[in-house]
Amino acid sequence: MALPHTLDGPTVRALVEGRHGDPFAVLGRHGRLIRTFQPGAKAVRVLDMANKVVAELTRIDDAGLFEGDVDTLPEGSRYRLAVDGRVIEDAYRFGNVLGEMDVYLLAEGRHRRLYEKLGAHPRTIDGVDGVTFAVWAPNATRCSVVGEFNRWDGRAHVMRKRIECGVFEIFVPGVKKGHHYKYELLGPHGELLPLKADPVGFRAEHPPQTASVVSGLVERAWGDQAWMAERQRRHDRHSPISIYEVHLGSWMRVPEEGGRYLSYLELAERLVPYVQQMGFTHIELLPISEYPFDGSWGYQPVGLFAPTIRHGTPDEFAAFVDACHQAGIGVIIDWVPGHFPSDSHGLAHFDGTALYEHADPRQGFHKDWNTLIYNYSRTEVCNFLIANALYWLDRFHIDGLRVDAVASMLYLDYSREHGEWIPNEFGGNENLGAIAFMRQLNELVYGEYPGAVTIAEESTAWPAVSKPTYLGGLGFGYKWNMGWMHDTLSYAGREPVFRRFHQNDLTFGMLYAFSENFILPLSHDEVVHGKGSLLGRMKGDRWQRFANLRAYFGFMWTHPGKKLLFMGGEFGQEREWNHDQSLDWHLLDDAMHRGMQHLMGELNAMLRTTAALYEIDSEWTGFEWIDASDSEQSVITYLRKAKDGGIAVVACNFTPVVRHGYRIGVPLAGAYAERLNTDHASFGGSGVSNGGLVHSEDVPWHGRQQSLRLTLPPLATLVLVPA
């Protein structure tokens, strides 16, 4: 005998309007009853696993709500639904997605592998193929997953709320890889919010479309075992590191096909051999986490867990990293935990409240970038960011994270006037939550992924950025030396005749060169916003501009600190970088540009093979001035030292005047070979040299018993080593 209709009017209305807070308590099988909501359906039957009709359900609301007695179906038996003749699995017959330990760790903000549970994961449950969806939205009154599989109808798959941790979850049978989806949420007061992309989505649609795409975690048979075994040594402070910074969308394009981007697989075929040929040890990628606006270069990401689809799928990105490693090249990615854009499909006001950001704009809004600031005082937010950092190291074998805009995270009053910020609990301007977050991040990265490295882009005098946390530092492995970059580029951009008044710009950096583990950065920031290219900053005629830049590169590659150069600088890009265009590779038809590129290859080769230039980069014992005071002739000379006592002698002449008979004191008697001369004819120079070999003389100079009598080429850097 059929049971009477059992639901009251308000419950029916809540179900058909998609406002029911706990649909699993009503839909699915409950004792003798099965209920299902199939929007717009005319008839629903219950089938057993042999596809035999068990019951014809009664439509109790015209919107598509059905109910019926299935007392002939044994309790716990599997069943299917025939909806207007189409056989489907019932999403509401499946149990919890998250285990109790997952719920506990998510609630505590300590689930370091939350990407294994949140997001969209293809799974087989009870013999049924489908996808589990889980998203953190604790203040939402309802959350549904919508997509092409349910006609984007938020009433169809309302999710179960795990109130213990604020996560909504559901297993949707029949969903497959490649299906597009978003989340439809009702805010705390029942208000309908804009559709949201998955914060832990692993793949996204091509911009400007904004849906997430079912992908699942990358599963790859990696071929980089040799690299991973060597990685810790290669990242040591005593190893040579030379980084090629790349924006994948503009390094090279395909003009024959409308100037399209190269794919990750094409980049593996073209970029990797180029970097290997040029002798760089690492590639650093501008952010590859999915971002909506090309003009942000990736620094305003929306999908932190999704490699941008602009160049291919997550699996193809993993293949690119694998190719780099097999070629002996490390991969660093720029990572942006400091802010996020306010796009309506992103994290902003995610569940109808300031969930990821601060509610008060004095804490939560970057007026410089029109972005929102993460709330580092919230454990779940820090857990989200830390899990994301570990995700790149875990699933993609990324070797390093260059953390963007650290200064903006450290200071509550960053780029704010009086009254526009809120002091911390002690009345100071330090962001205590961000400091704790960065320390925890670095402890986990170095603790769980030996050989991985973190790098801070930090432009202030904040102390101990690259010192261990147990010594009171922030725990980064390296810090960009922004002061060195600013001062020395200012010097290099001056007319040579005026440089004698600004020698301090070259030498001042040595006062703090060993206070941190520094990387010397000539990054993308130095070739945009009207600054011109590196070559364009140099003064003088064409020959002098090239010579200036060659001499500057020689100075940089012999100065204490690891090296970073943005793409295009290696061959003397003439124009300012434009993210919408390829680099000007046609310039290599010109001998001067080819010479610049040849020099960069030789600088990297010299760096890798000359221990004095890299072994003691972060300590005073690796450097000694010979003479920093010859400002009248704009010459500086210094020694670099190796652990075994080996030395390299460096002389930089920053004027277009050849200096004959220029004497410098040296610590060792004997012959010195000209290891590198940036004025060599093969680099486009004038060819002034010392004949390849110079013998010391028993003439005391610069406080040393031996000295060399050199010819200093014009606008050039010389490197000499004991023969």
Nearest C-alpha neighbor of 321 from the set 405, 415, 393, 429? 393
CATH number attached to the domain at 100-213: 2.60.40.10
pLDDT > 70: percent of the chain: 99
**Residue 503 pLDDT grade (very low, low, confident, very high; cuts 50, 70, 90):** very high
CATH 3.40.50.10600 fits 9-93, yes or no: no
Contacts of 352 (CB under 8 A, 6+ apart): 139, 140, 185, 186, 187, 188, 189, 191, 193
What does the pLDDT read at residue 1?
A: 32
Model confidence pLDDT, tens digit, residues 621-668? 999 999 999 999 999 999 999 999 999 999 999 999 999 999 999 999
Q: What is the pTM of this model?
A: 0.96
Strands 400-403 and 453-456: parallel
Three-class SS of residue 335? Answer: strand
How many angstroms separate the CA atoms of 482 and 465, rounded?
A: 13
What does the pLDDT read at residue 247?
A: 98
CATH 3.40.50.300 fits 241-569, yes or no: no
Per-domain boundaries in the chain:
9-93, 100-213, 241-569, 613-722
Q: In the predicted model, what is the mean pLDDT of the chain?
A: 96
Model confidence pLDDT, tens digit, residues 540-567? 999 999 999 999 999 999 999 999 999 9
Residue 269 has pLDDT above 70, yes or no: yes
Mean pLDDT over residues 166-195, rounded? 97
Asked whether the beta carbons of 554 and 717 are under 8 A apart, the reply is yes
How many angstroms separate the CA atoms of 150 and 370, rounded?
A: 35
Do the first three CATH levels of 100-213 and 241-569 match, i.e. the same topology? Answer: no
What does the pLDDT read at residue 21?
A: 87
How many angstroms separate the CA atoms of 397 and 391, rounded?
A: 9
How many angstroms separate the CA atoms of 283 and 711, rounded?
A: 37
Residue 2 has pLDDT above 80, yes or no: no
Model confidence pLDDT, tens digit, residues 334-356? 999 999 999 999 999 999 999 99
Residue 468 has pLDDT above 50, yes or no: yes
Strands 671-677 and 716-722: antiparallel
Per the structure block, which two tokens stand in for 683?
A: 């680099």
Distance of CA 443 to the CA centre of its chain: 18
What does the pLDDT read at residue 479?
A: 98
Mean pLDDT over residues 247-273, rounded? 96
CATH number attached to the domain at 613-722: 2.60.40.1180
Model confidence pLDDT, tens digit, residues 201-225? 999 999 999 999 999 999 999 999 9
How many angstroms separate the CA atoms of 655 and 495, rounded?
A: 9
Q: Which residues are catalytic?
A: 404, 457
Nearest C-alpha neighbor of 500 from the set 629, 628, 632, 630? 632
Q: How far lies 687's CA from each of 375, 415, 676, 679, 691, in Å?
A: 58, 49, 12, 6, 10
Chain position carrying tokens 């506990």: 104
Distance of CA 30 to the CA centre of its chain: 48
Per the structure block, which two tokens stand in for 269?
A: 């075929």
What does the pLDDT read at residue 5?
A: 60
What does the pLDDT read at residue 6?
A: 77
Residue 191 is classified by DSSP as P
Model confidence pLDDT, tens digit, residues 89-110? 999 999 999 999 999 999 999 9
